[in-house]
Homo-oligomer: A and B are copies of this chain.
Amino acid sequence: MISGEGASAGGGCELTAGGSMGRPVFGDVNPDIDSERKASSFDVEKLVNFLDGGADQTRMRRYVENIINNDPVFSQENQYFLTPVERYEAAAKGTIHLHRKIKELGWKDDGPEVQFAFRVIGSEMAFRIHSAVFIPTIIGLGTDAQIAKWVPLAKDYRIIGTYAQTELGHGTNLRGLETTATFDTSSQDFLLNTPKVSSIKWWPGDLARAANHAVVLAQLYTKGVCHGMHAFIVQIRSLVDHSVLPGIKIGDIGPKMGFEQVDNGYLMMQNVRVPRENMLSRYSRVTSDGSYIKEGSDRINYISMVFTRVKLISRELIPALSKACVIAIRYSVVRRQSELKPGEKEAKILDYQTQQQKLLPQLATIFALYFMSLSLEAFCNQVNLQIKTKRDLSSLLELHALSAGLKALASESCSAGVETCRRACGGHGYSMFSGLPSLYSRVVASCTYEGENTVMLLQTARFLMKCLARLDCGQPLPQSVSYLSEPISSYCSAKEKTDFFKPFLYTEAYKHRAQRLIKDSGDKLQSLLQSGVEQYVAWNITSVQLARTSVAHCHYTVVKNFVEAMEGLKPEPEIQQVIKRLCDLYALTGILANAGDFLCDGYITGKQLDLLTSSQLDLLALIRKDAVSIVDAFDYPDQQLNSAIGNYDGYAYQHLFEWAQKAPSNAKVDPVYEKYLKPLFQSAQSKL
């Protein structure tokens, strides 16, 4: 299973089960897909192990998958027929069941089995905000006493908490949040208030129905002075009967494009009293006389935001695109449409160059992001260590800027990629049974949450502009932008099309593009300022260009990292060949998609672009031969794909037909006929 975390997930364990799940070991397989597997240029199991980070990891993962997939409580078999409330209930049931199961099996909370289990159940986990945000926030911002009080209760689901930050009127811009927490010295309480409609907390998951507590982010006021955003633990529902407590209003925010199983809610508070000890006080506290005391810097907490973004790439984005590719590529070798050669059998649609052009670059993106997320995670761990051991925050800004831009790039490309896969499956990609609509509606949310992408790109751009200024002053640059101080090569040296398979050559092209765009943006800002334009105006009217600049920087970073990772690996040569081709494809496809950036200053000539186009098409034809094996190596059991057209056995039509027959609407009498059509139809009898 490809998730960018393979190499970091835990060590060995006793394994009682092995083998590849979800595959019809003795079953029949569609000959059209079987022939693809037989023609593979490499041993799939080797690539599986590589992506898992070793054969031990593969065994462990399959062992956990086996347990989950054989437990009917976790079955997602009829998921596409459920209403949002039913989805929520099924997810809650599964999550509580998993909690018990983990205890039964003696798995450690932070052990590899649990990590694998979470990944298998994936999007169908309930109480994700509770476990992934409420608890970590208390651990991150709470005192030891607060952690000791709340965390054990929360881990056992004896309380369920939500994280109430976003308001109707404010999302990514946290400083604009309007909820207030005013300290009342007389009662030693904070009074929490929702001053306006736009201040209503909106979107928190687990809030509408499940949570009885919330970490509420609010502007802290003591002695009439605002101290900015702080976090408070607020009890919102009774522990006795789950009724909403006085002064509080809670509700569901209504249906969404995805995340049907999550009870996203709204929260309004009117003079809700919270005891002084419920303000999370690791970095600042309020004394009994209302004095506000800061203790150290809470900048250290940026690291958790960064971790969240990095894990987003490995846990949500890469799996979404991987699953979409498995489905679309398997379908594309069993779907036959039109004769390619007149008079012959209809061709597999993956044999059409246009279909290859849609799907195969997505495979390349998966590997690019996989290696990128490994590096990014390593960088995170390193920065975290620096902070923990030396209180050294010096790399935090660089990490923040890098992760912000890469989050944007990764979520954009995975969302676009999933949708491309979906549409490449034609009409069947529009059926929920394909699994693809759900993958899209879920993954595309990531372009907005954890920081809206344009905002993210502009944050990276701000960092790049700062680095440019440092460069001008002769100061050293952080490692990820050190290339800014390297000379800019002025033209691409490719002379024939095979030159474009040289990693050095295309990496240089990406570097050139990023260097040029960063310098151009800096120049534009400078010239605007020098002509008397105010700083904020100059920034705004350069922002479209700045966002593009960030993309170019991130794109270069990803390509360079892909090349380094690929060259640094010494796996089986057959695996390396597959990965090398994907690396080339990623780089060349990106140049073609942004050709203007490479052509506009003559770095690449029109003639070279023709060669490059030809190289890219050659790659498609080569990778096409291994496409099925590559997606097989992602090793998703059928249950996890939950796709009628993406099953391992390749019987897309048969599964679509089977699944349709289970539609509950097929079992019911049609209300429309009884109510509206019966008399009309019966009057036609005499005429026919």
- A444 in the interface, Cβ–Cβ < 8 Å? yes
Q: How many residues of A contact B (CB 8 A)?
A: 132
When each residue 531-546 of chain A gets 1 if its CB lies under 8 Å from chain B and 0 otherwise, what string results? 0001011001111110
Q: Give Cα distance in the complex from A683 to B158, angstroms.
A: 7
Contacts of A336 in B (CB 8 A): 169
Contacts of A171 in B (CB 8 A): 337, 426-427
Q: Give Cα distance in the complex from A266 to B599, angstroms.
A: 51
Contacts of A89 in B (CB 8 A): 671-672, 675
Q: Give Cα distance in the complex from A654 to B266, angstroms.
A: 13
Contacts of A251 in B (CB 8 A): 660-661, 663, 666
Docked-complex contact A92 and B676, CB < 8 angstroms:
yes
Q: Give Cα distance in the complex from A352 to B665, angstroms.
A: 47
Q: A80-B255, A257-B437, A423-B447 are in contact. Are A239 and B685 (CB under 8 A)?
A: yes
Docked-complex contact A663 and B352, CB < 8 angstroms:
no
Contacts of A83 in B (CB 8 A): 83
Partner of A596, one of B159, B599, B661: B599
When each residue 340-383 of chain A gets 1 if its CB lies under 8 Å from chain B and 0 otherwise, what string results? 11100010000111110100000000000000000000000000
Give the nearest-CB partner of A169 in chain B: B653
Partner of A432, one of B255, B447, B673, B682: B255
Q: A595-B595, A681-B158 are in contact. Are A253 and B337 (CB under 8 A)?
A: no
Docked-complex contact B242 and A678, CB < 8 angstroms:
yes
| A433, A606, A668, A672, most chain B CB atoms within 10 A | A672
Give the nearest-CB partner of A203 in chain B: B427
Main secondary structure of the interface of A (DSSP, over half): helix
Q: Give Cα distance in the complex from A641 to B336, angstroms.
A: 40
Docked-complex contact A670 and B254, CB < 8 angstroms:
no
Contacts of A235 in B (CB 8 A): 688
- A657 in the interface, Cβ–Cβ < 8 Å? yes
Contacts of A427 in B (CB 8 A): 166, 171, 202-203, 448-449
Q: A256-B431, A337-B170, A685-B240 are in contact. Are A680 and B536 (CB under 8 A)?
A: no
Docked-complex contact A239 and B670, CB < 8 angstroms:
no
Contacts of A678 in B (CB 8 A): 242
Partner of A158, one of B335, B357, B684: B684
Docked-complex contact A153 and B354, CB < 8 angstroms:
no
Contacts of A121 in B (CB 8 A): none
Contacts of A80 in B (CB 8 A): 254-255
Docked-complex contact B540 and A253, CB < 8 angstroms:
no
Q: Give Cα distance in the complex from A256 to B678, angstroms.
A: 27
Contacts of A197 in B (CB 8 A): 653-654, 657
- A132 in the interface, Cβ–Cβ < 8 Å? no
Q: A80-B255, A239-B685, A255-B81 are in contact. Are A353 and B544 (CB under 8 A)?
A: yes
With both chains docked as a complex, state the minimum distance between the C-beta of A317 and any C-beta of chain B, in angstroms: 16
Which of A34-42, A206-214, A499-507 has 4 or more CB atoms under 8 Å from chain B?
Answer: A206-214
Q: Give Cα distance in the complex from A239 to B642, angstroms.
A: 39
Contacts of A617 in B (CB 8 A): 541, 544
When each residue 573-596 of chain A gets 1 if its CB lies under 8 Å from chain B and 0 otherwise, what string results? 000000000000000000010111
Q: A430-B256, A672-B210 are in contact. Are A680 and B449 (CB under 8 A)?
A: no
With both chains docked as a complex, state the minimum distance between the C-beta of A338 and any C-beta of chain B, in angstroms: 5
- A160 in the interface, Cβ–Cβ < 8 Å? yes
Q: Give Cα distance in the complex from A171 to B259, angstroms.
A: 31
Q: A88-B672, A353-B543 are in contact. Are A176 and B595 (CB under 8 A)?
A: no
- A168 in the interface, Cβ–Cβ < 8 Å? yes
Docked-complex contact A660 and B606, CB < 8 angstroms:
no
Q: Give Cα distance in the complex from A454 to B355, angstroms.
A: 9
Q: A168-B653, A660-B254 are in contact. Are A430 and B448 (CB under 8 A)?
A: yes
Contacts of A606 in B (CB 8 A): 599-602
With both chains docked as a complex, state the minimum distance between the C-beta of A175 and any C-beta of chain B, in angstroms: 8
- A547 in the interface, Cβ–Cβ < 8 Å? yes
Give the nearest-CB partner of A434 in chain B: B257
Docked-complex contact A681 and B212, CB < 8 angstroms:
yes
Q: Give Cα distance in the complex from A235 to B688, angstroms.
A: 10
Partner of A430, one of B353, B355, B445, B544: B445
Within 8 A of B (CB), among A619-676: 653-654, 656-657, 659-661, 663, 665-666, 668, 670-673, 675-676
Contacts of A449 in B (CB 8 A): 427
Q: Give Cα distance in the complex from A88 to B668, angstroms.
A: 14
Contacts of A540 in B (CB 8 A): 340, 351-353
Partner of A657, one of B203, B266, B335, B601: B266
- A200 in the interface, Cβ–Cβ < 8 Å? yes
Starting from the known contacts A210-B670, A251-B660, 6 additional A-B residue pairs (CB-CB under 8 Å) come to A80-B254, A89-B675, A168-B653, A197-B657, A354-B458, A599-B606
* Shortest beta-carbon contacts, A-B, top 5: A595-B596, A600-B606, A158-B684, A257-B437, A599-B599
Q: Which residues of A contact B (CB under 8 A)?
A: 80-81, 83-85, 88-89, 92-93, 96, 126, 153, 156-160, 166, 168-173, 176, 197-198, 200, 202-203, 208-210, 212, 235, 239-240, 242, 251-258, 263, 266, 335-338, 340-342, 346, 351-355, 357, 423, 426-427, 429-433, 437, 441, 444-445, 447-449, 452, 454, 458, 534, 536-537, 540-545, 547, 592, 594-602, 606, 609-610, 613, 617, 653-654, 656-657, 659-661, 663, 665-666, 668, 670-673, 675-678, 680-685, 687-688
